[in-house]
């Protein structure tokens, strides 16, 4: 099954992160992508956490989009923070934070950022065929 899309808005609040995780898990279960749930939840959680931590004061909501085109699971988080685009940095062993995009880079096939008006969308791809389908 391909061509599915699920988009949901969440308030820019710390408590939204657990709702993002539950929503991603439920959607991937519904789409019969059980083998991608762990990585999908971790990636969406990291991207949403970045939106909550770094996009404060720029809007009340961020948007999570899950898409399933042509054998790829696309995970996207869009916010209205437009002044600074995220960049990948390798964290030092004693850093207390800064591992989000490092984990996204390690788990995903590809990831990136694209500007939107206002703000940006951070996206990551997971290959659907990398795991056996139930």
| pLDDT for res 53 | 86
Residues 6+ apart with CB under 8 A from 110: 124, 125
* Rounded CA separation 24/58 (Å): 24
Residue 126 contacts residue 73 (beta carbons within 8 Å): yes
What is the reported pTM? 0.85
| pLDDT for res 134 | 47
| Range of the structural domain that residue 24 is part of | 4-130
Q: Of the candidates 85, 62, 86, 79, which has an alpha carbon nearest to the alpha carbon of residue 11?
A: 62
Report whether pLDDT(76) > 50: yes
CATH at residue 107: 3.30.565.10
Number of structural domains in the chain: 1
Residue whose pair of structure tokens reads 């519904």 in the numeric block: 30
* Rounded CA separation 86/132 (Å): 32
pLDDT tens-digit series, residues 110-128: 999 998 888 899 999 999 9
């Amino acid at each position: 099954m391909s061509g599915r899309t699920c988009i949901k808005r969440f308030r820019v609040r710390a408590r939204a992160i657990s709702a993002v995780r539950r929503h991603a898990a439920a959607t991937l279960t519904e789409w019969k992508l059980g083998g991608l749930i762990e990585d999908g939840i971790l990636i969406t959680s990291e991207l949403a956490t970045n939106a909550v931590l770094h996009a404060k004061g720029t809007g009340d909501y961020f948007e999570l989009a899950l898409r399933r085109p042509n054998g790829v699971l696309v995970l996207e988080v869009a916010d209205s923070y437009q002044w600074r685009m995220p960049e990948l940095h390798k964290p030092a062993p004693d850093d207390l934070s800064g591992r989000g995009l490092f984990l996204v880079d390690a788990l995903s096939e590809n990831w990136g950022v694209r500007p939107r008006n206002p703000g940006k969308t951070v996206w990551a791809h997971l290959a659907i065929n990398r795991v056996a389908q139930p």
